[in-house]
Amino acid sequence: MKILTVLTYYRPHTSGLTIYAERLARALVKRGHEVTVMTTQFDKSLPREEIMEGVRVVRVPVAFRVSKGTVAPTFGLVATKLVWEHDVVQMHLPQFDAPGVAFRGRLFGKPSVLTYHCDLNLSSGFFNRIVNSVVHFQNNLAGLLANRIVTYTQDYADHSPYLSRYKKKLRTFLPPVELPEVSDDAVIAFAKKYQIAERNPVIGMATRLAAEKGVEILLDAMPQILAQYPNAQILFAGQYQDVLSEQSYADRLMPRIKEYEKKGNWTFLGILNPKEMAAFYPALDALVVPSLNATEAFGLVQIEAMLNNVPCVASALPGVRQPVLMHEMGEIAAIGSADELADGLLKIFADKEKYHCDTAALAQTYDPDSVAAVYEKMFENLRKK
Name the class of domain 184-364.
alpha beta
Amino acid at 9: Y
- Give yes or no for residue 180 having a pLDDT over 70: yes
To the question of domain 2-176+367-384 being in CATH 3.40.50.2000, the answer is yes
Rounded mean pLDDT of the chain? 92
Please give the average per-residue pLDDT across 313-337, as a whole number: 97
Q: What ranges do the domains of the chain cover?
A: 2-176+367-384, 184-364
Confidence of residue 66 (pLDDT cuts 50, 70, 90): low
Going by pLDDT thresholds of 50, 70 and 90, the confidence category of residue 246 is confident
What's the predicted TM-score (pTM) here?
0.89
- Whether 2-176+367-384 shares its CATH topology with 184-364 is answered yes
Residues 304-321 have a mean pLDDT of: 97
Instruction: Give the pLDDT band (50/70/90) at residue 95.
Output: confident
Which regions of the chain does DSSP assign to beta strands (E)?
2-6, 34-41, 49-52, 55-61, 64-66, 69-71, 88-93, 112-116, 148-151, 170-172, 202-206, 233-237, 266-270, 286-289, 312-315, 330-333
Task: Quote the percentage of the chain above a pLDDT of 90.
Answer: 81
**Mutual angle of helices 75-85 and 98-108, in 10-degree steps:** 40
Q: Which of 39-43, 241-245, 297-301, 367-371 has the lowest mean pLDDT?
A: 241-245
For residue 127, name the pLDDT band (cuts at 50, 70, 90). Answer: low
212 vs 198: which has the higher pLDDT: 212
- As a whole-number percent, the residues of the chain with pLDDT over 70 amount to 95
Please list, residue by residue across 145-173, b when 16 or more beta carbons sit within 10 angstroms of its beta carbon and e when fewer do: bbbbbbbbbebbbebbebbeebeebbeeb
Biggest CA pair distance of the chain: 63
Q: From residue 7, give the alpha-carbon distance in Å to each of 28, 116, 122, 163, 168.
A: 16, 11, 19, 19, 24
